[in-house]
Structure 1
Amino acid sequence: MRRFPPERIVCLTEETVETLYLLGEEDRIVGVSGYAVRPPQVRREKPRVSAFTSADIPRILALAPDLVLTFSDLQAGIVADLVRAGVAVHAFNHRDVAGILAMIRTVGALVDARDKAEALVRSYEDRLERVAAQARDRARLRVYFEEWDEPLISGIGWVSELVAIAGGDDVFPELARKAAAKDRIVTPEAVLAAAPEVILASWCGKRVVPSRIAARPGWSAIPAVAQDRIVEIKSPLILQPGPAALTDGLDAILQALGHPLPKADLSEQGTGSALAALPTLRLTDQHRTQLLKVPDDGWIEAARLDAHSLEVLVRRGWIRRVHADPLGRPRHDGYRRTKAAWVALGGLAASTRATVAVRLGEPS
């Protein structure tokens, strides 16, 4: 790299984009993949310069990046072109949860934000541990994850791990360790023999049609089909090996298995977990009531809000946890209403996508 930390970064996959936003380092991003949708404002804030296996090399070079972040052997050709042009490139190639956490730490190190990256990773580790602990006492369900339909491709490593953390058993665990999709092809007969109780599907950006899955010859005998437990999980939530999979992707798996989402941990050790995810949940009348309990000009005791509503509100960015006080007062277990909360109370929540922020200093 010509500069450290790099001031101009191009991200050719979604997960590094989301990670930089979560670290508060989004101003360094000068170009992104066309598939980047998290957080929502990235689509209007950053120019799109690539698909997944192809990229506009002249446009990337025109952005004069200090660093380009890529992923997997599928982008090897793009990497080669950029390296020949004298561009510094870091290629990630992870396929499991440990690799996702390592990616976050590496991105943090590359932009000289190690402490923030470590805090983010610890919040994810804490949440994963809580979900796994809650799942230990539940009956485990057999799960088939379908990554593609023609041919049938089973789930990759991090997906299989998240299914296990949520309380399910991947019916093809041996294939999950295979990095290449071609090595995870399964036959309809193999799925039928595995008799999954839940079918999760995410067809790499193509809309899943549950009726087509159910209509496959012989599949009416599969418990998941017979019990109408075929669930689509959107690709941006589960098929990018980054923060989305560890948060909203895991939540989608939990919901598909019929398990409750983890409650917010309001202890000193667990404060990061609720802040780790981007907003996805809908505002309900119950949440409006909770928002109204937040004083306009003061603090509210966390005990006055039920844990689930508290987590929803924090994840939507309508109330903000304050970690430090400009006057040096002790930490408060409280929240302050934000401008986004006012919009939500005005009935405009559906069009509001405020990102979650950890505020240091005077709350706004």
Structure 2
Amino acid sequence: MQAFLKTGFLALLLAAPLPGAAAFASDGQNPKAQRIVSIGGTVTEILYALGAEDRIVAVDSTSSYPPGTRGKADVGYMRALSAEGILGKTPDLILTEDGAGPPDALSILKASEIPVVTIDTPPEGSAIAKKIRDVGHAVGLDEKAAVLADKTDRDLKALSETVAKLPEKRKRVLFVLSLAGGRIMAGGKETEAAAIIEMAGGINAADGISGYKPLTDEAVIGARPDVILVMQSGNHGVKPDEVFALPAFQSTPAAATRSLIQMDGLLLLGFGPRTPEAGRALAAHLYPEAFPG
């Protein structure tokens, strides 16, 4: 449970906007950059998908995929960066997702004259292709990025067509970000969680709130979730007994059927090249009869 809670808190910080953070234009091109510091799990994942992994000298702690990222130097958590630590890697390009910080550290990095490119990361499937193209453009790999972006769009369209054929009765899904002290933090509207649930053919049970916010027991009961969705925490996933023992869940339809889905956090919420895979995997959990095998 502790590992799950820590991962949930991390995802919350990743998802919420950082007040006062400067967003630099994502239009710079640096085709000769060979010492890239990549900050943000999805940006790092895209760089690997474009074949630029050998140009990465360091990543942040949210960069957990692919497994090869573990062999890179770690500059820390993307919301608590040290400018000195990053500059110590002698990068010739700093590539970061929108929301990295703190603002003071980003200001120092920008003043260093090392190119800093920030990639917009809206929680929308329709924005993934642009994200891929922005990363590719930043490192001079526009053609490869265009191919990957087009494939991702095709895969998203195929998933949408499959989901459109699902039965009319859709399942209500409650994404639980954390259960710290029995306090349920859920994903409401305008979040990656809401977007992936909709993409998979579900109904976000917490659509009465915006962002990631705590829910009272009464609100959880009123949400009537058929399924509880959580992030897998390494090798220590939360157990159904731990979730459904909480009073808020005991009278929900999800508790009656013991319906708990666990998925890797970056896969589920990253909104990168693997998002069609994530959406299909979630849909298969929700509607196994429509996704045989």
Interval of TM-score (by shorter of Structure 1 and Structure 2): 0.7 to 0.9
Aligned counterpart for 1:22 among listed residues 49, 66, 73: 49
Q: Is the 8 A contact 1:254 1:260 kept in 2?
A: no
Match of 1:61 in 2: 87
* Aligned counterpart in structure 2 of residue 163 of structure 1, from 191, 197, 200: 197
Q: 1:170 to 1:33 in 2, by over 3 A?
A: same
Q: CA deviation at 1:242?
A: 2.3
Letter of the structure 1 residue corresponding to residue 33 of structure 2: P
TM-fit CA distance, 1:260: 6.7
Q: With CA pairs under 8 Å and 6+ residues apart, which has the higher RCO, 1 or 2?
A: 2
Q: C-alpha distance in 2, partners of 1:173/1:204?
A: 25
- 1:209 counterpart (219, 239, 242): 239
Identify if the C-alpha distance between structure 1 residues 170 and 93 changes in structure 2 by more than 3 Å, giving closer, same or farther: same
> What SS does structure 2 have at the residue aligned with 1:121?
helix
Partner AA of 1:194 in structure 2: A
2:62 is paired with a residue of what secondary structure? Answer: coil
Secondary structure class of the residue paired with 2:250: helix
Alignment pair present for 1:226 and 2:260: no
Deviations 1:223-268 (A, max 9, x none): 1111010112122322333234x044224312321337879xxxxx
Partners of 1:21 and 1:39 within 8 A in 2: yes
Match of 2:118 in 1: 91
206-215 or 46-55, which deviates more: 206-215
Corresponding residue for 2:278? 249
Distance in 2, matches of 1:230 and 1:207, equals: 11
Structure 2 residue aligned with 1:105: 133
C-alpha contact (below 8 Å) 1:14/1:240 kept by paired residues: yes
2:207 equivalent to 1:173: yes
d(CA) in 2 for partners of 1:161, 1:101: 15
**Count of residue pairs brought into register by the alignment:** 257
C-alpha distance in 1 between matches for 2:289 and 2:49: 25
C-alpha separation in 2, matches of 1:229 and 1:3: 47
Q: Does residue 1:141 correspond to 2:171, yes or no?
A: yes
2:90 match: secondary structure:
coil
Cα distance in 2 between the residues matched to 1:168 and 1:249: 13
| Alpha-carbon distance in 2 for matches of 1:112, 1:37 | 24
Q: For 2:95, what is the secondary structure of its paired residue? A: strand
Change (3 A) 1:129 1:260: farther
Q: Which moved more, 1:46-55 or 1:107-116?
A: 46-55
Query: Is this contact kept in 1: 2:30–2:139, CA < 8 A?
Result: no
What are the Cα deviations for residues 259-279 of structure 1, in whole angstroms up to 9, with x where unaligned? 37879xxxxxxxxxxxxxxxx
Output aligned runs, 1:1-364, within 5 Å: 4-44=31-71, 46-77=72-103, 78-96=105-123, 97-139=125-167, 140-150=170-180, 151-155=183-187, 157-173=191-207, 175=209, 178=211, 181=212, 184-202=213-231, 207-244=237-274, 246-259=275-288
* Aligned residue identity for 2:73: P
8 Å Cα contact 1:146-1:203 kept in structure 2 = no
Question: Normalising by the residue count of structure 2, what TM-score does the alignment of the two structures yield?
Answer: 0.77
Aligned residue identity for 2:138: L
Counterparts of 1:53 and 1:212, CA distance in 2:
30
Structure 1 segments unaligned to the other structure (5+ residues)? 264-307, 309-364
SS in structure 2 at match of 1:105: helix
Q: Is the 8 A contact 1:196 1:222 kept in 2?
A: yes
Q: Sort the Cα spacing of 1:74 and 1:148 in 2 relative to 1 into closer, same or farther, 3 A.
A: farther
Name the residue aligned to 1:302.
none
- Secondary structure of residue in 1 paired with 2:137: helix
Q: Rate the CA distance shift 1:175–1:66 in 2: closer, same or farther, 3 A.
A: farther
Equivalent position amino acid for 1:240 in 2: G
Change (3 A) 1:149 1:99: farther
Name the % identity: 27
What's the CA shift for 1:67? 1.7
CA RMSD of aligned residues (A): 2.7
TM superposition shift of 1:112: 1.7
Provide the rounded CA distance (Å) in 1 between the counterparts of 2:46 and 2:206.
30
Unaligned runs of 5+ in 2: 1-27
**Structure 1 contact 5–110 (Cα < 8 Å) conserved:** no
Aligned residue type for 1:225 = A
